[in-house]
Amino acid sequence: MVNSSLKPSVILVADRTLSSNYKILFEGIFATMQTTKVPELAMKLLVSPKMPTDSQGRAMAVPLGLRRLEAALIEQGVLHEDEVVCTTPEALESLLGPWVKIVGISSSDPLGQGMSNTTTDKFWSGELYTKVWTAKMMGELKKAKEKFNFKVIGGGAGAWQWQNAPQECQNQGIDHLFIGYGESKGVNLIRDLLNDKDASFTTIEKDNTVGDIPKIRHASLLGIIELSRGCGKGCRFCTLAKQPMVHLPADTILSDIETNVSQGVTSVVSGSEDFFRYGATGSKINFDALHQLFTEMKKIKGLSFMQIDHANISSVLQMSDDQLKEIRSLLQWEKMSDYLWVNMGVESANGNLVAANGAAKMHPFDPSNWEDMVKDAVARLSRTGYFPVLSIILGLPGETEDDVERTIQLVKEISRQSAVVFPVFYEPVLPGEQRFTLESMTAKHLKLYAMCYEINFKHVPEMYWDNQRAGGVPWLKRALVRLLGKTEINAWRKKFRQLETTLAVQ
């Protein structure tokens, strides 16, 4: 129970799916994809367990963006350490009072429109917990705001959803919307509001603010540490499409890891849209910079293992087997992980279609060779100790039935390797574009979708178990999650059969 004596001017908090005590990245991904068909008690006890707080209501860990903002506010002299508190939705009420001037909210998917998450949402009854829990917290804050008269700033990776739905901003009591990295304009916005200066409703930070990035002072959710910011590959379905990739200094990265380890975090996640591009100029990789960084990271004691998250196929193909093996060896600390997974976007077998939706995605390679590039990257990663996790997009603008058939054949070939493939529905980032829905699905789409999931049913449970073990998840919880997973597999297969019947009748 929290009985805080703190009287902060600024409170920073994330939605419940980003305020949970996950041990590994896949737990967090799995949680954000769940709908209310999963009982809330099961979500809170098993899938998305509550993040602990200290007696003052400070969260043990919060999303990295909030940690950066917290550190920037203190380092730039806007607030003292006791004047800004990162907390959880459960502890929020105990910190509110007439002393609070601003509450900053971070959400990755506040209206349930994230591309990976909406794919699940379309198949199942109920609503995404990302949307439900965010709405619940915003409703409670709106009532408290009427009493204490503070300002609410909405932000986080999903802020674009609020931007595209101004009525929802008003309904949820948002006074200001911030989009982008917060260390520069975000700090200025908070400073102005604290000084009772006028501020526009929407503030957009277009730069990566790499020169302003402070070292974090406390642990980040999942031990996420940034290697790079931005991407710049131009994909129309990505919010970072036009932001060029910039890289954090090695001393900042190492300091952030040491901070996490000192506060009990044993497994960390590399935050980057392309892990293998660290230190690169443009699309050309810089193996020496990547190798030097991880050589220094290897010296840090107390880590179990690192999870990679995103990489790009064109970056993998610029590395030799020996280079990939060398990086793989540097990513192993105290616990052995057999499934060191790398998430790569394939999108479609038609390279020209992919290029039309992401002009620089394949650079410096030829889009006409895309299918061979995909197969080569999967084979390289598999034989050098990584586990490829691929994604494809159904309903890319310009997609034809022939493109879907080509992707089916590509997935069949990939299935001979040790890899998984996650299909997602196209969800436009910009308003006005057409979404892909169940109503858009053809028999070929369903065949592709079901094929991918049958591959995943074979490999994901073992990958999940392996990562949880390496991340220190107790055996009992792993067993319960595996049991829940079997129930999910049966439900997915039943849904596929129902859709096959529906499409056959049409």
Q: What is the mean pLDDT of the chain?
A: 91
Residue 204 pLDDT greater than 70, yes or no: yes
C-alpha pair distances (Å), 15 with each of 19, 141, 199, 345, 506: 6, 12, 24, 27, 41
Of residues 120 and 400, the one with the higher pLDDT is 400
Task: Report the alpha-carbon distance of residue 493 to residue 308 in Å, rounded.
Answer: 30
The pLDDT of residue 213 is: 92
DSSP designation for 49: P
Residue 118 pLDDT greater than 80, yes or no: no
The pLDDT of residue 457 is: 94
Alpha helices in 124-231 (DSSP H): 129-148, 159-163, 166-171, 185-194
The pLDDT of residue 241 is: 66
Of residues 491 and 376, the one with the higher pLDDT is 376
- Number of separate helices (H) and strands (E) present in the chain: 18, 15
Residue 306 pLDDT greater than 90, yes or no: no
The pLDDT of residue 107 is: 94
Q: What is the pLDDT of residues 69-92, one digit of tens each?
A: 999 999 999 999 999 999 999 999
Task: Report the alpha-carbon distance of residue 336 to residue 455 in Å, rounded.
Answer: 24
Q: Which helix (H) or strand (E) holds 372?
A: helix 370-383
SS3 category, 220: strand
Q: How far apart are the first and last CA of the chain?
A: 56
C-alpha pair distances (Å), 81 with each of 73, 217, 261, 301, 420: 9, 10, 21, 28, 44
Q: What is the pLDDT of residues 428-467, one digit of tens each?
A: 777 777 888 888 889 999 999 999 999 999 999 999 999 9
* pTM (global) more than 0.85: yes
Least confident of 18-27, 203-212, 216-225: 203-212
The pLDDT of residue 190 is: 97
Residue 357 pLDDT greater than 60, yes or no: yes
Residue 232 pLDDT greater than 60, yes or no: yes
Q: Would you say 388 and 374 are in contact if contact means Cβ atoms under 8 Å apart?
A: no
> Percent of the chain, pLDDT > 90?
69
Residue 1 pLDDT greater than 60, yes or no: no
For the residues 187-205, what does the mean pLDDT come to? 95
The pLDDT of residue 113 is: 83
The pLDDT of residue 259 is: 97
The pLDDT of residue 413 is: 95
For the residues 465-494, what does the mean pLDDT come to? 89
* Sign of the torsion formed by the C-alpha atoms of 18, 311, 340 and 267: negative
Least confident of 61-75, 163-177, 241-255, 449-463: 241-255
